[in-house]
Amino acid sequence: MVPFGAVLVLLAVRPFLNLPPLAEQVVWILVMTVVLAAVARPVLDFRIRRWGGSVGIGIAVFAIWIGTDRIFPGYHGHWLFTNPVTGSVVSSLPESSRGDVPVLLLRSLRAAVFVPIAEELFWRAWLMRWLIAPHFQEVPLGAWSARAFWIVAVLFASEHGALWDVGLAAGVLYNWWMVRSKSLGDLILTHGVTNACLSAYVVFAGRWEYWP
């Protein structure tokens, strides 16, 4: 839980710190590195058991993520997605930094490496198991429970604000892959592939709104 909590704290304090974009990325990565090394290292397992499936599902989730707006321009501007509850799809990266290579590289590293580790530890390595039994360490990774599966999928969707619909699709696919692969390493890879593809798309297509 701690790495995911650290992500939430970093997002919460960002407006108050008001750091330059490059310093913000450096601080973010340093804090997460320390947290992961100090707290999560004993439970981290980066072994990949199903390379093809993990990479393929990661790419599929990326395609779903950008697909609706590609097929239906302005799709996420509909009131179902952009409203006072869910917010709107906007970027947190200042326009002045969108050509700054070090900032873009560190922001991509943050999205493709650190976020997947923190989120998979929380959503699928902990919460899916804890919802089955409070003594979650006795529950194997990928254990099936319809209740846990759908609660995690819906909460994962809500985390993504105005992109809740594609967040729900991603949550369902990631949860399903955890049930199938029973591997934290595979889920980190899958999530990392999605975010790496999305980061490349953001930078090369100029679709900065996908970096909230």
* Per-residue pLDDT tens digits for 83-128: 999 999 999 899 989 999 999 999 999 999 999 999 999 999 999 9
Q: Do 65 and 166 form a contact (C-beta atoms < 8 A)? A: yes
**What does the alpha-carbon distance between residue 212 and residue 200 come to, in Å, rounded to a whole number?**
15
* Per-residue pLDDT tens digits for 48-87: 999 999 999 999 999 999 999 999 999 999 999 999 999 9
pLDDT band at 212 (very low <50, low <70, confident <90, very high): confident
* Per-residue pLDDT tens digits for 34-49: 999 999 999 999 999 9
Domain count, the chain: 1
Hey, what's the torsion of the CAs at 73, 74, 79, 82, to 10 degrees?
130
For residue 66, the enclosing domain spans: 2-210
pLDDT of residue 170: 98
Q: Do 145 and 161 form a contact (C-beta atoms < 8 A)? A: no
Q: Which residue has the tokens 């179902």?
A: 80
Q: Do 116 and 191 form a contact (C-beta atoms < 8 A)? A: yes
* Per-residue pLDDT tens digits for 143-177: 999 999 999 999 999 999 999 999 999 999 999 99
The secondary structure of residue 140, as a DSSP letter, is P
Residues 6+ apart with CB under 8 A from 83: 162
